Amino acid sequence: ADLGRKLQTALQSLTQETVIDAQLLDTILREIATALLQADVNARLVATLRANIKKIVNFDDLAAGVNKRRLIQRAIYDELCRLVDPGIEAPKPKKGRANVIMFVGLQGSGKTTTCTKLANFYMRKGWKVCLVCTDTFRAGAFDQLKQNATKAKIPYYGSYTETDPVQLASDGVAKFKAEKFEIIIVDTSGRHKQETELFEEMRQISDAVQPDNVIFVMDGTIGQAADAQARAFKETVEVGSIVVTKLDGHAKGGGAISAVAATGSPIVFIGTGEHIHDLEVFNARPFVGKMLGMGDIDGLIETVQDMKLDKNKGLMKNIEAGVFTLRDMYAQLETISNMGPLSKVMGMMPGMSQEMLAGMSDADGSSKLKRMTCIMDSMTDAELDSDGKIFQTQPTRIVRVAKGSGTMVAEVQMLLAQCKKFAEMIKTMGGNKGLLKNMQGNNPRGQMHPSQMAKLQSTMSKMVPPEMMQQMGGMGGLQNMMASMAGMGRGGGGGPGGMPDMGALMNAMGGMGGMGGLGGLLGGMGGMMGGGGGGGGGGGGGGAARRGRK
């Protein structure tokens, strides 16, 4: 079991126990400490965390009426955030001048790949970026950087003949400074603290290029060795920030927490895959929130705002009227597809446990989404603008669509059944605007009336497939998730860390129109991610869906 799942299990007793006392707190802290130690967090840091939480939650000094559950949850959340956030701002590149960024790290930590990822990150933001390879120690290092840089269309400098890395660094940086590059990323050889000569070489390269920021790249799965290795690098060069690689989502990386404490430097990015775009900006509070199953509403709002969902006025008008067509479903599927990996988006939702996320396959989910849109590409305008009933009265249309899209009849039938579920939910939620009135931000506390919550839960329970409902812990699990979503008040009133209320998310998503997508995301994704998928490809159809609303 990964760190996040173990921490969530430890916190479950807070909601299950009726008596919250010092004995329960000790049990929770013991489980959390065990989970952190098993995840390779330094023992000294774990002991400090336990002591700090017990100091904050002192049952002898608590005033009457204090919500003990909330206090314990908040204390654990804040202390975990403190572990991964030293409270120091990482150096940032400045426009109008050359910013030299030097990469250091252990052998095999993914340093060269991360150099290209970071260069691509800044290039997409409009910076003039380049790469300098000084790794003369590892065979094929320059070939790897050259291949990655060429693929990403990033200028690079290196040599097959020059064997002095210090000279390579000096020449490369001087060349790109003369060409007015804004960000010059210097890749160095991987090294271990036992290799004294290589550490001296690293210091010489640093003295030669005078970097504005030294980034320590660390393998998130390195384990207990992280603390000693990080200290060795910190003592040789001035480490300004950390990039943790091989950190798939938030499941591993206890050693990374130790590295933050050892260097006193903040984590700026996390590597979540092998592709060039698999580099995420690191934010401590959302990271810990997702790890504890509290979601990342801020991140979800940002993702949704980037999507500019409010542009689809036709879809919103339909949903507000309680109407949902196949064309609306097509628009929703495209939106979900563009939001990124499904497990990542679902991880931002409050109440989504590690068990639920563990069963998701991004590759399968993406494939099924593409097949569904392909099926709708083979439909006529009349079919797309219907709620699917036209297929019930004329079943031969199903066969025609299946043939046109290169899919099976059963897949078309499954899509129509999914659309019917969406339509039923939208009819309930859109036809009665009062149901989501408070979630859209009209209530300043962002909380729903119990009767509204009950109606919303009833609607959602019909949307969620049986397998997903079982993973959530039945109706009780769904109720907990909905309660955590609806009860997140601003300023820390509801969720830890002052996460914004769901009203902010609803407004970002365009009110009722966005809620239709959110409902589909919560319920429909379970059906799309699990179960069969059928083989076969899928040719295009008439492309009617892509022609837009008439």
Q: Are residues 271 and 384 in the same domain?
A: no
Q: Which among 140, 136, 218 has a CA at the least distance from the CA of 169?
A: 136
Q: Are residues 137 and 259 in the same domain?
A: yes
Instruction: Name the 3-class secondary structure at 404.
Output: helix
The answer to whether 54 and 79 are in contact (CB under 8 A) is: no
Q: Are residues 104 and 45 in the same domain?
A: no
Q: Are residues 221 and 262 in the same domain?
A: yes
Tell me if 423 is assigned to some domain: yes
Residue corresponding to tokens 């659309």: 419
CA 512 to CA 490: how far, in whole Å? 21
Q: Which among 25, 21, 43 has a CA at the least distance from the CA of 34?
A: 43
Q: Are residues 49 and 132 in the same domain?
A: no
Phi-psi region of 105 (alpha: psi -120 to 50; beta: other; left: phi over 0): left
- pLDDT tens string for the chain (550 positions)? 467 778 888 888 787 778 888 899 999 999 999 988 887 787 888 999 999 999 999 888 877 778 888 888 889 989 988 888 888 888 899 998 999 999 998 888 889 999 999 999 999 999 999 999 999 888 888 999 999 999 999 999 999 998 899 999 999 999 999 999 999 999 998 877 667 777 888 899 999 999 999 999 988 777 667 777 788 888 888 888 989 887 654 445 566 677 777 778 888 998 877 888 888 888 888 778 777 766 555 666 565 555 555 555 666 666 667 778 888 888 877 777 776 666 666 665 555 555 555 555 566 667 788 888 899 999 999 999 998 889 999 999 999 999 999 999 999 998 998 888 777 776 665 554 444 444 444 444 444 556 655 665 565 555 555 555 554 455 555 555 555 444 443 333 344 443 444 444 444 444 433 444 444 444 444 444 444 334 334 444 444 444 454 4
| Residue 214's CATH number | 3.40.50.300
- How would you classify the pairing of strands 239-245 and 213-219? parallel
Q: Are residues 329 and 420 in the same domain?
A: yes
Q: Which among 389, 349, 375 has a CA at the least distance from the CA of 481?
A: 349
Per-residue tokens: 262 = 């050892």
CA 101 to CA 91: how far, in whole Å? 10
Task: Tell me the sheet residues that pair with 279.
Answer: 271
Give the pLDDT score at 550: 42
Per-residue tokens: 396 = 């031969």
Tell me if 322 is assigned to some domain: yes
Sign of CA dihedral 291, 307, 501, 528: negative
Tell me if 483 is assigned to some domain: yes
Domain count, the chain: 3
The answer to whether 34 and 5 are in contact (CB under 8 A) is: no
Residue corresponding to tokens 């290169």: 406
Structural domain ending residue among the three candidates 29, 50, 84? 84
Give the pLDDT score at 485: 47
The answer to whether 427 and 519 are in contact (CB under 8 A) is: no
| Residue 77's CATH number | 1.20.120.140
Q: Are residues 270 and 332 in the same domain?
A: no
Instruction: Name the 3-class secondary structure at 39.
Output: coil
Tell me if 252 is assigned to some domain: yes
Instruction: Name the 3-class secondary structure at 57.
Output: coil
Burial class from Cβ neighbours inside 10 Å (0-12, 13-18, 19+) for residue 174 reads middle
Q: Are residues 191 and 254 in the same domain?
A: yes
Give the pLDDT score at 70: 85
Q: Are residues 420 and 523 in the same domain?
A: yes
Per-residue tokens: 59 = 């049952």
Q: What share of the chain is helix, strand, coil (3-state, %, to 5)?
A: 60, 5, 35
Structural domain containing residue 280: 99-285
b (16+ CB within 10 A) / e for 503-536? bbbbbbbbbbbbbbbbbbbbbbbbbbbbeebeee
CA 208 to CA 205: how far, in whole Å? 5
What is the widest separation between alpha-carbon atoms in the chain? 79
Tell me if 448 is assigned to some domain: yes
Give the pLDDT score at 505: 46
Check: pTM over 0.75? Answer yes or no: no
Tell me if 540 is assigned to some domain: no
Q: Are residues 106 and 244 in the same domain?
A: yes
- How would you classify the pairing of strands 267-271 and 279-281? antiparallel
Q: Are residues 281 and 308 in the same domain?
A: no
Per-residue tokens: 480 = 């907990």
Q: Are residues 400 and 480 in the same domain?
A: yes
Q: Which among 548, 531, 520, 549 has a CA at the least distance from the CA of 424?
A: 520
